[in-house]
Amino acid sequence: MKPGRAAYLTSVAAVYVFLMLPISIVVIASFNSGKYLRFPPEGFSLRWYAQFFASQPFMDALELSLVLAAVSTLAATLIGTPAALYYVRHAKNWRETFRLYTLAPLLLPEILTSIALLFLYYQIGLGTKTVAGLYFGHIVICVPFVFLQVTASLYNLSPAVEEAARSLGASPATVFRRITLPLIKPGIINGALFAFIISFDNVTISLLLKGVGTTTLPMQVFDYLRWDFDPTTAAASTVSILMTLGAVLAVDRLVGLRAMRY
């Protein structure tokens, strides 16, 4: 093997180890039989998974996180996809301004977006009394991810394909349904996947906008670690990792991850 290729493969392996090592430690620590969160574990046990699934606060937080991520993903997809279509096909003089405003939640620190939304809620009398503000906040930060992915798909879609369909008598609605939508479907699904993961794992938006008596799974893990240091939090984190991995595998089964390479 050539020295240059060996150095390249070594650097790639080092990056993967750097990214995967913390996750591996959390997963392994979740099976610890001891009373405290530690690595290496003292032994093998599933007791902390049983405690996690038996904990009502954790189950309520998990349910809220799943519903919140699902609703935010659906809403962001329904908003981000038409926005991308408008930006690529119809926006003229103010297209870059439109793009800047659409990507603003991604460009700004989440803490600034959270504070701005919190001020807005109090101005309109919403505050943090309901979970509606939390849903809206998650939708706001998820839209840019869908917008970027669908925009990339549209830029790689040749206009000649749609023009050919229109020249054969297809209406604009038929062209979109039969030609455009199937060709940009990988981008839509990829954007939805990003939106789900971002919403499910978000902490900053949830910290400031969650209603009284409600908490998401990441926030519940954070609050639990303030008072207890047993492996229940590692079990909760492992469940979160598995759900994220499950979402990726589901997308691979539906459209194939290779279809998402632009």
What confidence tens digit (pLDDT) does each residue in 151-208 have? 988 887 777 777 787 777 777 778 888 888 888 888 888 889 889 989 998 888 888 8
- The pLDDT-based confidence of 82 (bands split at 50, 70, 90) is very high
Structure tokens at 82: 């038409």
Residue with tokens 């939508």, as numbered in its chain: 181
What distance in Å separates the CA atoms of residue 132 and residue 52, rounded to the nearest whole number?
27
pLDDT of residue 128: 61
Mean of per-residue pLDDT scores for the chain: 84
List of long-range contacts for 18-27, beta carbons under 8 Å, 24+ apart: 23/241, 26/234, 26/237, 26/238, 26/241, 27/234, 27/238, 27/241
> Whole-angstrom distance between the N-terminal and C-terminal Cα of the chain?
30
Residue 260 pLDDT > 50: no
- The pLDDT-based confidence of 240 (bands split at 50, 70, 90) is confident
What distance in Å separates the CA atoms of residue 155 and residue 147, rounded to the nearest whole number?
12
Structure tokens at 260: 């998402």
- The pLDDT-based confidence of 261 (bands split at 50, 70, 90) is very low
Q: Minimal CA–CA distance to 55: which of 210, 201, 244, 223?
A: 223
Look up the CATH number of domain 55-260.
1.10.3720.10
Residue with tokens 């990339």, as numbered in its chain: 152
* Cα–Cα distance list, 194 to 70, 73, 206, 229, 247 (Å): 12, 9, 17, 31, 10
pLDDT of residue 168: 77
pLDDT of residue 80: 92
What distance in Å separates the CA atoms of residue 202 and residue 61, rounded to the nearest whole number?
13
Domain boundaries along the sequence of the chain: 55-260
Residue 25 pLDDT > 90: no
pLDDT of residue 96: 87
Residue with tokens 């309520």, as numbered in its chain: 60
Structure tokens at 99: 């793009």
What distance in Å separates the CA atoms of residue 145 and residue 197, rounded to the nearest whole number?
11
pLDDT tens for each residue of 86-139: 898 887 788 888 888 899 888 888 888 888 888 888 888 776 666 788 899 999
Which of 167-181, 193-207, 212-226, 240-254 is modeled with the greatest confidence?
193-207
Residue 71 pLDDT > 90: yes
- The pLDDT-based confidence of 241 (bands split at 50, 70, 90) is confident
Torsional sign, CA 92, 96, 100, 103: positive
